[in-house]
Amino acid sequence: MATSLKNLSDYDPAGIPDGSMLRIGIVVSEWNEEITAALLEGALKTLKKHGVPEENIHIRSVPGSFEIPFGARIVADLYSPDVVICLGCVIQGETRHFDYICQGVTHGITELNLDYNIPFIFGILTTNNLEQAKDRAGGKHGNKGDEAAVTALKMAALRNR
């Protein structure tokens, strides 16, 4: 479903599993920090709302979205989390660099999901411009960080069943 048809922050709280016993890893890109900081804020707010203790959330930064898969692997190995949330933002520029970064980070996160016995959540915005990114980082389309946190809680519950 296109984001323009759904608010990323809308969900039924009753359908979200309790997070009080979970360990969560978060890897966030420093590139496009205005956007990624908002994604992180949304994810943290949602995780805490559903009971994840602050001391069970391990956050690490990486320089850019391309580095997220490696950072996520390090977080998984160091902290043994139940789930790792990957947060980043890639904005289309004038060159094909956008395509290569998006393909690389998507492939990297996919490989982690297949290689590890924990879920890695794709919280990467891939937008045509800064306005679209802002709209999806707490703006008129909600916050992708909220959606990533909800997905993390659901996937951790699925894994732990």
- pLDDT recorded at residue 2: 58
DSSP state of 81: -
Task: Give the pLDDT of the chain (161 residues) as one tens digit per residue.
Answer: 455 667 878 888 889 999 999 999 999 999 999 999 999 999 999 999 999 999 999 999 999 999 999 999 999 999 999 999 999 999 998 788 888 999 999 999 999 999 999 999 999 999 999 999 999 999 999 999 999 999 999 999 999 88
**Distance (Å, whole) CA 52 – CA 32:** 27
- pLDDT recorded at residue 3: 59
Note whether 113 and 120 are within 8 A (CB): yes
* Cα dihedral: 52, 58, 63, 69 (round 10): -80
Domains, the chain: 21-36+44-127+144-160 (3.40.50.960)
**Distance (Å, whole) CA 40 – CA 24:** 13
Residues designated catalytic: 97
**Distance (Å, whole) CA 99 – CA 55:** 36
Cα angle, residue 17 at apex, residues 42 and 138 outer, rounded to 5°: 15
Tokens, residue 139: 């703006």
Note whether 42 and 144 are within 8 A (CB): yes
